[in-house]
Structure 1
Protein backbone atom coordinates (compact mmCIF):
# COMPACT_ATOMS: atom_id res chain seq x y z
CA UNK A 1 0.00 0.00 0.00
CA UNK A 2 1.36 3.40 -0.98
CA UNK A 3 1.99 5.93 1.77
CA UNK A 4 -0.77 8.55 2.21
CA UNK A 5 -3.32 6.44 0.41
CA UNK A 6 -6.43 5.50 2.32
CA UNK A 7 -7.05 1.82 2.74
CA UNK A 8 -10.23 0.48 1.21
CA UNK A 9 -12.17 -1.97 3.34
CA UNK A 10 -13.10 -5.14 1.55
CA UNK A 11 -16.77 -5.99 1.32
CA UNK A 12 -18.09 -8.01 4.21
CA UNK A 13 -15.27 -7.08 6.57
CA UNK A 14 -17.73 -5.52 9.06
CA UNK A 15 -15.98 -2.13 9.13
CA UNK A 16 -17.93 1.00 8.05
CA UNK A 17 -17.43 2.51 4.71
CA UNK A 18 -15.64 5.88 4.49
CA UNK A 19 -18.84 7.74 3.56
CA UNK A 20 -20.65 6.33 6.56
CA UNK A 21 -17.77 7.32 8.82
CA UNK A 22 -17.89 10.93 7.59
CA UNK A 23 -21.67 11.13 8.19
CA UNK A 24 -21.34 9.85 11.75
CA UNK A 25 -18.53 12.33 12.48
CA UNK A 26 -20.63 15.25 11.21
CA UNK A 27 -23.57 14.14 13.37
CA UNK A 28 -21.36 13.96 16.46
CA UNK A 29 -19.95 17.44 15.82
CA UNK A 30 -23.47 18.87 15.31
CA UNK A 31 -24.70 17.34 18.57
CA UNK A 32 -21.69 18.67 20.48
CA UNK A 33 -22.27 22.18 19.11
CA UNK A 34 -25.97 22.01 20.06
CA UNK A 35 -25.05 20.92 23.59
CA UNK A 36 -22.59 23.81 23.87
CA UNK A 37 -25.21 26.33 22.76
CA UNK A 38 -27.72 24.86 25.20
CA UNK A 39 -25.20 25.11 28.05
CA UNK A 40 -24.42 28.71 27.15
CA UNK A 41 -28.09 29.55 26.90
CA UNK A 42 -28.75 27.82 30.21
CA UNK A 43 -25.97 29.77 31.96
CA UNK A 44 -27.28 33.05 30.56
CA UNK A 45 -30.79 32.17 31.68
CA UNK A 46 -29.59 31.39 35.20
CA UNK A 47 -27.68 34.65 35.39
CA UNK A 48 -30.67 36.53 34.02
CA UNK A 49 -33.03 34.87 36.50
CA UNK A 50 -30.70 35.54 39.45
CA UNK A 51 -30.15 39.18 38.46
CA UNK A 52 -33.87 39.69 37.86
CA UNK A 53 -34.74 38.14 41.24
CA UNK A 54 -32.23 40.32 43.10
CA UNK A 55 -33.39 43.44 41.27
CA UNK A 56 -37.06 42.65 41.94
CA UNK A 57 -36.39 42.08 45.63
CA UNK A 58 -34.47 45.34 45.89
CA UNK A 59 -37.19 47.30 44.08
CA UNK A 60 -39.81 45.80 46.37
CA UNK A 61 -37.84 47.18 49.32
CA UNK A 62 -37.63 50.65 47.75
CA UNK A 63 -41.16 50.92 46.39
CA UNK A 64 -42.86 51.73 49.73
CA UNK A 65 -40.52 54.62 50.50
CA UNK A 66 -40.60 56.09 47.03
CA UNK A 67 -44.36 55.68 46.68
CA UNK A 68 -44.96 57.23 50.10
CA UNK A 69 -42.87 60.30 49.32
CA UNK A 70 -44.47 60.61 45.88
CA UNK A 71 -47.88 60.57 47.56
CA UNK A 72 -46.73 63.33 49.93
CA UNK A 73 -45.36 65.29 46.99
CA UNK A 74 -48.56 64.96 44.97
CA UNK A 75 -50.76 65.83 47.94
CA UNK A 76 -48.68 68.91 48.75
CA UNK A 77 -48.72 70.00 45.11
CA UNK A 78 -52.51 69.63 44.89
CA UNK A 79 -53.00 71.52 48.14
CA UNK A 80 -50.67 74.31 47.02
CA UNK A 81 -52.67 74.77 43.83
CA UNK A 82 -55.97 74.71 45.72
CA UNK A 83 -54.89 77.14 48.46
CA UNK A 84 -53.24 79.51 46.00
CA UNK A 85 -56.51 79.68 44.07
CA UNK A 86 -58.30 80.54 47.31
CA UNK A 87 -55.64 83.14 48.06
CA UNK A 88 -56.08 84.76 44.64
CA UNK A 89 -59.84 84.88 45.16
CA UNK A 90 -59.43 86.42 48.63
CA UNK A 91 -57.06 89.08 47.32
CA UNK A 92 -59.38 89.88 44.44
CA UNK A 93 -62.30 90.16 46.84
CA UNK A 94 -60.30 92.46 49.12
CA UNK A 95 -59.37 94.76 46.22
CA UNK A 96 -62.95 94.76 44.97
CA UNK A 97 -64.34 95.72 48.38
CA UNK A 98 -61.67 98.39 48.78
CA UNK A 99 -62.56 99.95 45.44
CA UNK A 100 -66.28 99.75 46.14
CA UNK A 101 -65.89 101.30 49.58
CA UNK A 102 -63.83 104.20 48.23
CA UNK A 103 -66.43 104.88 45.54
CA UNK A 104 -69.36 104.84 47.97
CA UNK A 105 -67.55 106.95 50.56
CA UNK A 106 -66.66 109.55 47.94
CA UNK A 107 -70.28 109.70 46.85
CA UNK A 108 -71.44 110.07 50.46
CA UNK A 109 -68.83 112.76 51.11
CA UNK A 110 -69.97 114.75 48.09
CA UNK A 111 -73.51 114.80 49.45
CA UNK A 112 -72.63 115.82 53.02
CA UNK A 113 -70.06 118.46 52.17
CA UNK A 114 -67.69 120.18 54.64
CA UNK A 115 -69.23 118.76 57.81
CA UNK A 116 -67.18 115.59 57.34
CA UNK A 117 -63.83 117.37 57.68
CA UNK A 118 -65.11 119.39 60.64
CA UNK A 119 -66.24 116.25 62.48
CA UNK A 120 -63.12 114.22 61.62
CA UNK A 121 -61.10 115.28 64.75
CA UNK A 122 -63.83 113.87 66.97
CA UNK A 123 -63.81 110.44 65.29
CA UNK A 124 -60.01 110.43 65.28
CA UNK A 125 -60.05 111.11 69.02
CA UNK A 126 -62.51 108.25 69.49
CA UNK A 127 -60.16 105.91 67.61
CA UNK A 128 -57.18 106.93 69.75
CA UNK A 129 -59.23 106.52 72.92
CA UNK A 130 -60.23 103.01 71.89
CA UNK A 131 -56.60 102.06 71.22
CA UNK A 132 -55.55 103.52 74.58
CA UNK A 133 -58.24 101.50 76.31
CA UNK A 134 -56.96 98.29 74.69
CA UNK A 135 -53.39 99.09 75.76
CA UNK A 136 -54.63 99.70 79.30
CA UNK A 137 -56.23 96.26 79.38
CA UNK A 138 -53.02 94.62 78.15
CA UNK A 139 -50.95 96.47 80.76
CA UNK A 140 -53.36 95.38 83.48
CA UNK A 141 -52.94 91.73 82.45
CA UNK A 142 -49.15 92.05 82.47
CA UNK A 143 -49.26 93.61 85.93
CA UNK A 144 -51.47 90.83 87.30
CA UNK A 145 -49.12 88.21 85.86
CA UNK A 146 -46.10 89.92 87.42
CA UNK A 147 -47.82 90.03 90.81
CA UNK A 148 -48.60 86.31 90.59
CA UNK A 149 -44.99 85.48 89.72
CA UNK A 150 -43.73 87.61 92.61
CA UNK A 151 -46.06 85.84 95.04
CA UNK A 152 -44.98 82.38 93.81
CA UNK A 153 -41.30 83.31 94.12
CA UNK A 154 -41.79 84.49 97.70
CA UNK A 155 -43.48 81.18 98.54
CA UNK A 156 -40.45 79.33 97.14
CA UNK A 157 -38.18 81.39 99.40
CA UNK A 158 -40.32 80.53 102.40
CA UNK A 159 -40.17 76.79 101.59
CA UNK A 160 -36.38 76.92 101.17
CA UNK A 161 -35.94 78.77 104.46
CA UNK A 162 -38.08 76.21 106.27
CA UNK A 163 -35.96 73.42 104.80
CA UNK A 164 -32.77 75.03 106.04
CA UNK A 165 -34.20 75.67 109.51
CA UNK A 166 -35.35 72.05 109.85
CA UNK A 167 -31.79 70.88 110.54
CA UNK A 168 -29.69 73.66 111.99
CA UNK A 169 -26.66 71.46 112.70
CA UNK A 170 -25.96 70.67 109.03
CA UNK A 171 -26.18 72.92 105.98
CA UNK A 172 -27.86 71.03 103.15
CA UNK A 173 -26.42 72.30 99.81
CA UNK A 174 -29.65 71.38 98.01
CA UNK A 175 -31.77 73.63 100.19
CA UNK A 176 -29.12 76.34 99.99
CA UNK A 177 -29.16 76.22 96.19
CA UNK A 178 -32.97 76.29 96.17
CA UNK A 179 -32.96 79.33 98.47
CA UNK A 180 -30.51 81.20 96.23
CA UNK A 181 -32.55 80.36 93.15
CA UNK A 182 -35.82 81.43 94.82
CA UNK A 183 -34.26 84.68 96.03
CA UNK A 184 -33.12 85.51 92.50
CA UNK A 185 -36.61 84.77 91.21
CA UNK A 186 -38.11 87.09 93.83
CA UNK A 187 -35.82 89.92 92.74
CA UNK A 188 -36.66 89.40 89.06
CA UNK A 189 -40.39 89.19 89.80
CA UNK A 190 -40.21 92.35 91.92
CA UNK A 191 -38.55 94.26 89.08
CA UNK A 192 -41.14 93.02 86.60
CA UNK A 193 -43.96 93.91 88.96
CA UNK A 194 -42.68 97.47 89.43
CA UNK A 195 -42.11 97.90 85.69
CA UNK A 196 -45.60 96.58 84.87
CA UNK A 197 -47.12 98.83 87.49
CA UNK A 198 -45.45 101.92 86.03
CA UNK A 199 -46.52 100.94 82.50
CA UNK A 200 -50.09 100.39 83.64
CA UNK A 201 -50.17 103.80 85.29
CA UNK A 202 -48.79 105.45 82.14
CA UNK A 203 -51.29 103.92 79.70
CA UNK A 204 -54.13 104.53 82.14
CA UNK A 205 -53.23 108.20 82.18
CA UNK A 206 -53.17 108.28 78.37
CA UNK A 207 -56.54 106.57 78.22
CA UNK A 208 -58.06 109.08 80.61
CA UNK A 209 -56.68 111.98 78.58
CA UNK A 210 -58.02 110.49 75.33
CA UNK A 211 -61.48 110.02 76.81
CA UNK A 212 -61.45 113.57 78.13
CA UNK A 213 -60.60 114.88 74.66
CA UNK A 214 -63.46 112.86 73.17
CA UNK A 215 -65.89 114.42 75.62
CA UNK A 216 -64.61 117.91 74.85
CA UNK A 217 -64.87 117.50 71.07
CA UNK A 218 -68.29 115.92 71.37
CA UNK A 219 -69.62 119.01 73.10
CA UNK A 220 -67.91 121.43 70.73
CA UNK A 221 -68.82 119.64 67.47
CA UNK A 222 -72.24 118.29 68.33
CA UNK A 223 -74.06 119.55 65.21
CA UNK A 224 -71.47 118.50 62.61
CA UNK A 225 -71.06 115.14 64.35
CA UNK A 226 -74.76 114.41 63.95
CA UNK A 227 -74.77 115.58 60.34
CA UNK A 228 -71.69 113.54 59.31
CA UNK A 229 -72.68 110.42 61.24
CA UNK A 230 -73.90 108.42 58.15
CA UNK A 231 -70.52 108.86 56.45
CA UNK A 232 -68.42 107.69 59.41
CA UNK A 233 -70.77 104.80 60.17
CA UNK A 234 -70.45 103.62 56.57
CA UNK A 235 -66.69 104.01 56.80
CA UNK A 236 -66.55 101.96 60.01
CA UNK A 237 -68.64 99.24 58.38
CA UNK A 238 -66.30 99.01 55.39
CA UNK A 239 -63.25 99.03 57.66
CA UNK A 240 -64.65 96.06 59.56
CA UNK A 241 -65.28 94.10 56.35
CA UNK A 242 -61.82 94.93 55.04
CA UNK A 243 -60.19 93.78 58.27
CA UNK A 244 -61.97 90.43 58.01
CA UNK A 245 -60.82 89.93 54.42
CA UNK A 246 -57.30 91.01 55.28
CA UNK A 247 -57.19 88.47 58.09
CA UNK A 248 -58.35 85.76 55.68
CA UNK A 249 -55.62 86.71 53.20
CA UNK A 250 -52.96 86.51 55.91
CA UNK A 251 -54.19 83.08 57.04
CA UNK A 252 -54.11 81.74 53.48
CA UNK A 253 -50.60 83.11 52.95
CA UNK A 254 -49.41 81.32 56.09
CA UNK A 255 -51.12 78.12 54.93
CA UNK A 256 -49.43 78.31 51.53
CA UNK A 257 -46.06 78.77 53.23
CA UNK A 258 -46.62 75.68 55.40
CA UNK A 259 -47.69 73.50 52.47
CA UNK A 260 -44.68 74.65 50.43
CA UNK A 261 -42.49 73.61 53.35
CA UNK A 262 -44.07 70.14 53.24
CA UNK A 263 -43.42 70.02 49.50
CA UNK A 264 -39.76 70.91 50.04
CA UNK A 265 -39.43 68.23 52.72
CA UNK A 266 -40.83 65.60 50.34
CA UNK A 267 -38.37 66.69 47.66
CA UNK A 268 -35.46 66.41 50.09
CA UNK A 269 -36.61 62.96 51.17
CA UNK A 270 -36.77 61.79 47.56
CA UNK A 271 -33.29 63.15 46.96
CA UNK A 272 -31.97 61.27 49.98
CA UNK A 273 -33.62 58.07 48.72
CA UNK A 274 -31.98 58.59 45.33
CA UNK A 275 -28.57 59.09 46.95
CA UNK A 276 -29.09 55.95 49.04
CA UNK A 277 -29.96 53.94 45.92
CA UNK A 278 -26.88 55.16 44.07
CA UNK A 279 -24.66 54.39 47.06
CA UNK A 280 -26.01 50.85 47.31
CA UNK A 281 -25.64 50.32 43.55
CA UNK A 282 -22.05 51.50 43.86
CA UNK A 283 -21.37 48.93 46.57
CA UNK A 284 -22.91 46.22 44.38
CA UNK A 285 -20.70 47.23 41.44
CA UNK A 286 -17.62 47.24 43.65
CA UNK A 287 -18.46 43.74 44.90
CA UNK A 288 -18.87 42.51 41.31
CA UNK A 289 -15.52 44.04 40.35
CA UNK A 290 -13.84 42.26 43.26
CA UNK A 291 -15.44 38.97 42.22
CA UNK A 292 -14.19 39.41 38.66
CA UNK A 293 -10.70 40.23 39.96
CA UNK A 294 -10.71 36.96 41.92
CA UNK A 295 -11.70 35.01 38.81
CA UNK A 296 -15.45 34.98 39.25
CA UNK A 297 -17.89 34.94 36.40
CA UNK A 298 -18.48 38.37 34.84
CA UNK A 299 -21.91 39.92 34.85
CA UNK A 300 -24.05 39.95 31.71
CA UNK A 301 -23.85 42.92 29.39
CA UNK A 302 -25.85 45.82 30.83
CA UNK A 303 -26.16 44.29 34.32
CA UNK A 304 -24.24 47.10 35.99
CA UNK A 305 -26.80 49.69 34.93
CA UNK A 306 -29.77 47.44 35.69
CA UNK A 307 -32.20 48.84 38.23
CA UNK A 308 -30.54 52.27 38.55
CA UNK A 309 -33.10 54.82 39.72
CA UNK A 310 -32.23 58.49 39.40
CA UNK A 311 -33.78 61.42 41.24
CA UNK A 312 -35.05 62.89 37.96
CA UNK A 313 -36.83 59.61 37.15
CA UNK A 314 -38.52 59.67 40.56
CA UNK A 315 -39.68 63.28 40.11
CA UNK A 316 -40.86 62.54 36.57
CA UNK A 317 -42.85 59.60 37.90
CA UNK A 318 -44.50 61.85 40.48
CA UNK A 319 -45.44 64.42 37.83
CA UNK A 320 -47.06 61.71 35.70
CA UNK A 321 -49.75 61.47 38.39
CA UNK A 322 -49.25 57.99 39.84
CA UNK A 323 -49.05 56.21 36.46
CA UNK A 324 -46.15 54.14 37.72
CA UNK A 325 -43.16 55.20 39.78
CA UNK A 326 -40.69 54.54 36.98
CA UNK A 327 -42.70 55.13 33.73
CA UNK A 328 -40.81 57.62 31.56
CA UNK A 329 -43.63 58.75 29.24
CA UNK A 330 -47.04 57.59 28.06
CA UNK A 331 -46.72 54.77 25.55
CA UNK A 332 -42.99 54.22 26.22
CA UNK A 333 -41.63 51.04 27.81
CA UNK A 334 -41.13 50.99 31.54
CA UNK A 335 -37.83 50.33 33.28
CA UNK A 336 -38.74 46.65 33.62
CA UNK A 337 -39.40 46.29 29.88
CA UNK A 338 -36.17 48.11 29.05
CA UNK A 339 -34.24 45.73 31.28
CA UNK A 340 -35.97 42.76 29.67
CA UNK A 341 -34.87 44.08 26.29
CA UNK A 342 -31.24 44.25 27.44
CA UNK A 343 -31.46 40.68 28.70
CA UNK A 344 -32.87 39.53 25.34
CA UNK A 345 -29.96 41.22 23.61
CA UNK A 346 -27.55 39.32 25.88
CA UNK A 347 -29.25 36.01 24.99
CA UNK A 348 -29.08 36.79 21.26
CA UNK A 349 -25.41 37.63 21.58
CA UNK A 350 -24.75 34.30 23.33
CA UNK A 351 -26.57 32.34 20.63
CA UNK A 352 -24.76 34.21 17.87
CA UNK A 353 -21.39 33.44 19.43
Structure 2
Protein backbone atom coordinates (compact mmCIF):
# COMPACT_ATOMS: atom_id res chain seq x y z
CA UNK A 1 0.00 0.00 0.00
CA UNK A 2 1.20 3.56 -0.58
CA UNK A 3 2.45 5.24 2.61
CA UNK A 4 -0.20 7.97 2.39
CA UNK A 5 -2.98 5.40 2.31
CA UNK A 6 -1.55 3.61 5.33
CA UNK A 7 -1.18 6.92 7.15
CA UNK A 8 -4.87 7.59 6.52
CA UNK A 9 -5.75 4.13 7.84
CA UNK A 10 -3.62 4.78 10.92
CA UNK A 11 -5.22 8.16 11.60
CA UNK A 12 -8.75 6.83 11.04
CA UNK A 13 -8.15 3.92 13.41
CA UNK A 14 -6.63 6.24 16.01
CA UNK A 15 -9.63 8.59 15.81
CA UNK A 16 -12.00 5.63 16.12
CA UNK A 17 -10.10 4.36 19.17
CA UNK A 18 -10.34 7.75 20.89
CA UNK A 19 -14.04 8.12 20.05
CA UNK A 20 -14.82 4.56 21.06
CA UNK A 21 -12.99 4.81 24.38
CA UNK A 22 -14.90 7.98 25.26
CA UNK A 23 -18.22 6.26 24.48
CA UNK A 24 -17.08 3.19 26.41
CA UNK A 25 -16.20 5.22 29.50
CA UNK A 26 -19.58 6.96 29.36
CA UNK A 27 -21.41 3.64 28.96
CA UNK A 28 -19.55 2.14 31.91
CA UNK A 29 -20.44 5.17 34.03
CA UNK A 30 -24.12 4.83 33.12
CA UNK A 31 -24.02 1.14 33.99
CA UNK A 32 -22.47 1.87 37.41
CA UNK A 33 -25.06 4.58 38.08
CA UNK A 34 -27.94 2.25 37.25
CA UNK A 35 -26.38 -0.48 39.41
CA UNK A 36 -26.01 1.91 42.35
CA UNK A 37 -29.51 3.32 41.89
CA UNK A 38 -31.03 -0.14 41.67
CA UNK A 39 -29.34 -1.25 44.90
CA UNK A 40 -30.47 1.90 46.73
CA UNK A 41 -34.10 1.74 45.58
CA UNK A 42 -34.41 -2.01 46.10
CA UNK A 43 -33.03 -1.70 49.61
CA UNK A 44 -35.53 1.06 50.34
CA UNK A 45 -38.37 -1.01 48.89
CA UNK A 46 -37.24 -4.04 50.85
CA UNK A 47 -37.21 -2.07 54.11
CA UNK A 48 -40.80 -0.97 53.52
CA UNK A 49 -42.17 -4.39 52.57
CA UNK A 50 -40.30 -6.46 55.13
CA UNK A 51 -40.04 -10.24 55.38
CA UNK A 52 -42.65 -11.03 52.70
CA UNK A 53 -39.90 -10.59 50.10
CA UNK A 54 -37.81 -13.50 51.39
CA UNK A 55 -40.89 -15.65 51.89
CA UNK A 56 -42.01 -15.00 48.30
CA UNK A 57 -38.54 -15.39 46.77
CA UNK A 58 -38.85 -19.19 46.15
CA UNK A 59 -41.87 -18.53 43.93
CA UNK A 60 -40.00 -16.03 41.75
CA UNK A 61 -36.96 -18.31 41.57
CA UNK A 62 -39.22 -21.17 40.47
CA UNK A 63 -40.69 -18.92 37.77
CA UNK A 64 -37.20 -18.05 36.55
CA UNK A 65 -36.18 -21.72 36.38
CA UNK A 66 -39.38 -22.63 34.54
CA UNK A 67 -38.73 -19.89 32.00
CA UNK A 68 -35.20 -21.18 31.42
CA UNK A 69 -36.42 -24.75 30.93
CA UNK A 70 -39.10 -23.63 28.47
CA UNK A 71 -36.43 -21.70 26.57
CA UNK A 72 -34.33 -24.86 26.26
CA UNK A 73 -37.34 -26.85 25.09
CA UNK A 74 -38.28 -24.32 22.42
CA UNK A 75 -34.78 -23.58 21.17
CA UNK A 76 -32.72 -26.77 21.05
CA UNK A 77 -34.65 -29.37 19.11
CA UNK A 78 -34.43 -28.38 15.47
CA UNK A 79 -33.74 -31.40 13.29
CA UNK A 80 -30.61 -31.38 11.21
CA UNK A 81 -31.16 -32.05 7.53
CA UNK A 82 -28.71 -34.33 5.81
CA UNK A 83 -30.25 -34.21 2.33
CA UNK A 84 -30.07 -38.01 2.12
CA UNK A 85 -32.75 -40.40 3.32
CA UNK A 86 -34.16 -43.83 2.67
CA UNK A 87 -35.64 -42.71 -0.66
CA UNK A 88 -32.17 -41.66 -1.79
CA UNK A 89 -30.86 -45.09 -0.92
CA UNK A 90 -33.61 -46.65 -2.99
CA UNK A 91 -32.74 -44.40 -5.90
CA UNK A 92 -29.07 -45.39 -5.71
CA UNK A 93 -30.02 -49.03 -5.62
CA UNK A 94 -32.74 -48.66 -8.23
CA UNK A 95 -32.11 -50.77 -11.30
CA UNK A 96 -28.80 -52.11 -9.94
CA UNK A 97 -28.04 -55.32 -8.16
CA UNK A 98 -25.37 -55.11 -5.52
CA UNK A 99 -23.03 -57.20 -7.61
CA UNK A 100 -23.32 -54.68 -10.47
CA UNK A 101 -22.30 -51.56 -8.46
CA UNK A 102 -19.02 -50.13 -9.65
CA UNK A 103 -16.68 -48.55 -7.04
CA UNK A 104 -18.13 -45.03 -7.53
CA UNK A 105 -21.71 -46.18 -6.96
CA UNK A 106 -20.57 -48.33 -4.03
CA UNK A 107 -18.92 -45.32 -2.39
CA UNK A 108 -22.08 -43.22 -2.92
CA UNK A 109 -24.14 -45.98 -1.33
CA UNK A 110 -21.81 -46.28 1.66
CA UNK A 111 -21.83 -42.51 2.18
CA UNK A 112 -25.63 -42.33 1.95
CA UNK A 113 -26.01 -45.25 4.35
CA UNK A 114 -23.77 -43.58 6.93
CA UNK A 115 -25.75 -40.35 6.69
CA UNK A 116 -29.08 -42.14 7.13
CA UNK A 117 -27.73 -44.02 10.16
CA UNK A 118 -26.42 -40.78 11.68
CA UNK A 119 -29.76 -39.08 11.09
CA UNK A 120 -31.62 -41.95 12.75
CA UNK A 121 -29.33 -41.88 15.79
CA UNK A 122 -29.79 -38.13 16.12
CA UNK A 123 -33.56 -38.50 15.79
CA UNK A 124 -33.66 -41.06 18.60
CA UNK A 125 -31.46 -38.89 20.82
CA UNK A 126 -33.58 -35.83 20.08
CA UNK A 127 -36.77 -37.66 20.99
CA UNK A 128 -35.32 -38.86 24.30
CA UNK A 129 -33.97 -35.39 25.10
CA UNK A 130 -37.30 -33.81 24.19
CA UNK A 131 -39.11 -36.17 26.55
CA UNK A 132 -36.65 -35.38 29.35
CA UNK A 133 -36.99 -31.61 28.94
CA UNK A 134 -40.77 -31.91 28.66
CA UNK A 135 -40.81 -33.66 32.04
CA UNK A 136 -38.66 -30.87 33.46
CA UNK A 137 -41.10 -28.28 32.10
CA UNK A 138 -44.03 -30.07 33.67
CA UNK A 139 -42.24 -30.36 37.01
CA UNK A 140 -41.17 -26.71 36.94
CA UNK A 141 -44.69 -25.54 36.12
CA UNK A 142 -46.15 -27.73 38.87
CA UNK A 143 -43.69 -26.22 41.36
CA UNK A 144 -44.68 -22.70 40.28
CA UNK A 145 -48.37 -23.51 40.75
CA UNK A 146 -47.74 -25.09 44.16
CA UNK A 147 -45.76 -22.10 45.42
CA UNK A 148 -48.29 -19.67 44.00
CA UNK A 149 -51.01 -21.26 46.11
CA UNK A 150 -48.87 -21.63 49.22
CA UNK A 151 -47.43 -18.10 49.13
CA UNK A 152 -50.35 -16.20 47.65
CA UNK A 153 -50.41 -13.39 50.23
CA UNK A 154 -46.62 -12.90 50.31
CA UNK A 155 -46.47 -12.89 46.51
CA UNK A 156 -49.08 -10.17 46.31
CA UNK A 157 -47.40 -8.01 48.96
CA UNK A 158 -43.89 -8.40 47.51
CA UNK A 159 -44.88 -7.87 43.86
CA UNK A 160 -43.75 -4.16 43.74
CA UNK A 161 -40.26 -5.19 44.84
CA UNK A 162 -39.82 -7.98 42.28
CA UNK A 163 -41.35 -5.92 39.48
CA UNK A 164 -38.90 -3.12 40.24
CA UNK A 165 -36.06 -5.65 40.38
CA UNK A 166 -37.06 -7.06 36.96
CA UNK A 167 -37.08 -3.55 35.46
CA UNK A 168 -33.61 -2.81 36.78
CA UNK A 169 -32.30 -6.18 35.59
CA UNK A 170 -33.56 -5.48 32.09
CA UNK A 171 -31.94 -2.02 32.03
CA UNK A 172 -28.68 -3.45 33.35
CA UNK A 173 -28.67 -6.17 30.69
CA UNK A 174 -29.25 -3.60 27.95
CA UNK A 175 -26.40 -1.39 29.19
CA UNK A 176 -24.13 -4.39 29.71
CA UNK A 177 -24.76 -5.39 26.10
CA UNK A 178 -23.91 -1.83 25.04
CA UNK A 179 -20.64 -1.93 27.00
CA UNK A 180 -19.71 -5.28 25.47
CA UNK A 181 -20.43 -3.99 21.97
CA UNK A 182 -18.29 -0.89 22.50
CA UNK A 183 -15.45 -2.99 23.94
CA UNK A 184 -15.48 -5.13 20.81
CA UNK A 185 -15.52 -2.05 18.55
CA UNK A 186 -12.53 -0.53 20.37
CA UNK A 187 -10.63 -3.83 20.13
CA UNK A 188 -11.26 -3.96 16.39
CA UNK A 189 -10.07 -0.36 15.96
CA UNK A 190 -6.90 -1.13 17.93
CA UNK A 191 -6.29 -4.15 15.71
CA UNK A 192 -6.65 -2.01 12.57
CA UNK A 193 -4.29 0.56 14.08
CA UNK A 194 -1.73 -2.16 14.80
CA UNK A 195 -1.98 -3.54 11.26
CA UNK A 196 -1.57 -0.07 9.70
CA UNK A 197 1.40 0.64 11.96
CA UNK A 198 3.10 -2.63 10.98
CA UNK A 199 2.48 -1.87 7.32
CA UNK A 200 4.07 1.58 7.70
CA UNK A 201 7.06 0.10 9.49
CA UNK A 202 7.47 -2.48 6.72
CA UNK A 203 7.23 0.22 4.05
CA UNK A 204 9.82 2.31 5.91
CA UNK A 205 12.17 -0.66 6.12
CA UNK A 206 11.76 -1.35 2.39
CA UNK A 207 12.48 2.31 1.55
CA UNK A 208 15.64 2.25 3.67
CA UNK A 209 16.72 -1.04 2.10
CA UNK A 210 16.27 0.33 -1.42
CA UNK A 211 18.12 3.52 -0.48
CA UNK A 212 21.01 1.51 0.95
CA UNK A 213 21.06 -0.66 -2.19
CA UNK A 214 21.26 2.42 -4.43
CA UNK A 215 24.11 3.89 -2.37
CA UNK A 216 25.96 0.59 -2.45
CA UNK A 217 25.53 0.25 -6.24
CA UNK A 218 26.65 3.86 -6.79
CA UNK A 219 29.82 3.40 -4.75
CA UNK A 220 30.53 0.12 -6.49
CA UNK A 221 30.32 1.82 -9.91
CA UNK A 222 32.56 4.69 -8.75
CA UNK A 223 35.12 2.30 -7.28
CA UNK A 224 34.81 -1.00 -9.18
CA UNK A 225 38.19 -2.35 -8.05
CA UNK A 226 37.41 -1.83 -4.41
CA UNK A 227 40.38 0.49 -3.92
CA UNK A 228 40.71 2.02 -0.53
CA UNK A 229 39.91 5.69 -0.38
Matched, 1:221 2:151: yes
**Alpha-carbon displacement from aligned partner over 1:286-306 (angstroms, at most 9, x marks no partner):** 3213212337xxxxxxxxxxx
Matched, 1:158 2:90: yes
Q: Which residue of 2 aligns with 1:17?
A: none
Structure 1 residues 271 and 160, CA gap change in structure 2 (3 angstroms): farther
Match among 35, 51, 66 for residue 98 of structure 1: 35
Q: Which residue of 1 aligns with 2:20?
A: 83
Q: Which residue of 2 aligns with 1:179?
A: 109
After TM superposition, give the deviation of residue 191 of structure 1 in Å. 2.1
Matched, 1:211 2:131: no
Match among 238, 243, 258 for residue 168 of structure 2: 238
Alignment partners' CA distance in 2, 1:245 and 1:115 = 30
Structure 1 residues 156 and 253, CA gap change in structure 2 (3 angstroms): farther
Based on CA coordinates, which of the two structures has the bigger radius of gyration?
A: 1
Alignment partners' CA distance in 1, 2:180 and 2:167 = 20
Number of residue-to-residue matches in the alignment: 226
**Alpha-carbon displacement from aligned partner over 1:145-169 (angstroms, at most 9, x marks no partner):** 23x33x634344333323xx35888
TM (norm. structure 2) is: 0.91
Q: Do 1:118 and 1:224's aligned partners in 2 also have CA atoms closer than 8 Å?
A: yes
**Alpha-carbon displacement from aligned partner over 1:314-351 (angstroms, at most 9, x marks no partner):** xxxxxxxxxxxxxxxxxxxxxxxxxxxxxxxxxxxxxx
Q: Which residue of 2 aligns with 1:344?
A: none
Matched, 1:291 2:228: no
The CA RMSD measured in Å over matched residues stands at 2.0
Q: Do 1:139 and 1:199's aligned partners in 2 also have CA atoms closer than 8 Å?
A: no
Q: Which residue of 1 aligns with 2:67?
A: 130
Q: Give unmatched runs, 5+ long, in structure 2.
A: none
Q: Do 1:133 and 1:207's aligned partners in 2 also have CA atoms closer than 8 Å?
A: yes
Alignment partners' CA distance in 2, 1:209 and 1:128 = 11
Q: Which residue of 2 aligns with 1:349?
A: none
Greater RCO (Cα-Cα under 8 Å, separation 6 or more) = 2
Partner of 2:2, secondary structure, is helix
Kindly indicate which of the two structures has a greater share of residues assigned to helix.
2
